[in-house]
Amino acid sequence: MDSTKCFRIEKDAQIPFNNKVDYCIGTGRMGLALQKEYQEQLALVQEEIGFSHIRGHGLFSDDMAIYQEYTDENGKKHAEYNFTYLDLVMDSYLKLNIRPFLELGFMPDKMASGEQTVFYWKGNVTPPASYDAWCELVQATLRHLMERYGEEEVVTWPIEVWNEPNLPGFWKDADMEEYFKLFARTFAAIKEVDSRFRVGGPAICGVEDEKWIRMFMEFCRKESIPVDFVTRHHYTTELPEKDGHYGYAKLREPEEGFANLQTTRDIVDSFEEFKGIEIHITEFNTSYIPNCPLHDTNRNAAYIARQLSRLGDVNESYSYWTFGDIFEELGVPFTPFHGGFGLVANGGIPKPTFWTFKFFKDLQGTCVYRSDEAVIVKREDGSYRGIVWNMTLEGTGEDICRTYQLPIEGKECFILTKTVDEATCNPLKLWHAMGEPSSLSEEQKKLLKEAAKPFVEADRAAVQDGCAQVNITARENGVVYFEVKAVEDKSDRGYCYKRVIGK
């Protein structure tokens, strides 16, 4: 790798870059939102990053207690609905200015046709014993939400039917025909409540994804279902190697994943009536298991930076799985750093990837430069913001040094950098040095949070020949954010910075 390169940005450059980093974020099952630590982690994420939507499993699972049955005096069973917990969860989301991307699943046990479950918390993944009862549940839930939060609000919440039905663990026998039946009946039931609802699927992941996408589009064509958007998932590691509580996974070449996403776009666009409709990645991360130590590392942060620079090319949105580590697919984790999916480790400790999202959220403006290692945007006020990352699949130990010449008006400029790498923002390393404690004291939490902050530097530089020259060094697995803007001194009378610092 050539470690020193210089790039001059053209004054009127405009590069395509669809930055949808803040549209949606993932979460564990909905019932976890009743926990205090969950709410604290989500509040941190919303304060620093601020996502528009949140998507997770378990809306209809028994811990949410929505679907109930009772028997009358004649021995006849009746359905009734309990929205107590749903209201608490939705109230908490809206208070944090985030709205649900509703995933309809899993099956209430009393409504299910079988006993197959998934995860530690036993989400039922069998079709409904009665599709009529299922549709009535969906409609009753939507009508309740509309009554409580207002029709104009709730009809804007996207709706996805089920999760990963192409995997037998998430849908009994991965029965495609049965899933299509579920989708068709659910789609019609939702539109009957209000045609403005936007409904999509099939929420597939990996296995036979091309076949499922094509067959889903053919089914919608055949049944004249005007599906509003298509959903799929995106993970980018090889099969993990298990060791104790953990799974160690190697990263794939990013281009493999981007090519796979392009294939989905091409398949959807091959259907004239669906050409150009939105594709939402409703889950993505590096590894697809919640116990992969990679998730806690700076390498993950740098790899995800490359993903965020490209995922908007052919997708309307891409939802990172997940915002936090209050998560129980495989059970309650033993330690704060356990390879969980989250941007935030338990204890409220931001992981390096947290800052990758924060940096991309701040990357608003017209893109003037984009490569496999950097994105730079120009803002309306003439200032610039950029991100440089040093992503490696296998350790090289090499830094990359980049110089960007940015057209700017003025005599001097202010240059700000925020660095996240293994030397400057690495709570995992500190936790290891502490002896990898499973239960953190308040003092340890405080120290880990201090170690989880980017390293901030600032400088002043002369503008030469109408350009600000910005020199960025990104160490291996590092992510560096920078801002550049013209600056003039507005000092108080008699104040001299050079005298203050002894120069």
Give the residue numbers annotated as catalytic, written as ranges: 164, 283
Cβ–Cβ under 8 Å, residues 475 and 425: no
Tokens 């790798």 found at: 1
Tokens 């803002």 found at: 379
Q: Report residue 29: phi and psi, to 5°.
A: -55, 150
Q: From CA 472, how far away is CA 242, in angstroms rounded? A: 38
Q: From CA 146, how far away is CA 160, in angstroms rounded? A: 17
Tokens 């200032």 found at: 383
Residue 221: count other Cβ atoms within 10 Å of its Cβ: 14
Q: Convert 136-152 into a string of H (helix), E (strand) and C (coil).
A: HHHHHHHHHHHHHHCHH
The torsion angle over the Cα atoms of residues 325, 330, 332 and 338, rounded to 10 degrees, is -50
What tokens were used for 216? 């889903």
What tokens were used for 400? 């990359």
- Return the sign of the alpha-carbon dihedral for residues 95, 92, 136, 173: positive
Q: From CA 127, how far away is CA 186, in angstroms rounded? A: 12
Q: Which residues contact 167 (CB under 8 A, 6 or more apart)?
A: 174, 205, 206, 207
Tokens 């160490």 found at: 475
Q: From CA 320, how far away is CA 298, in angstroms rounded? A: 16
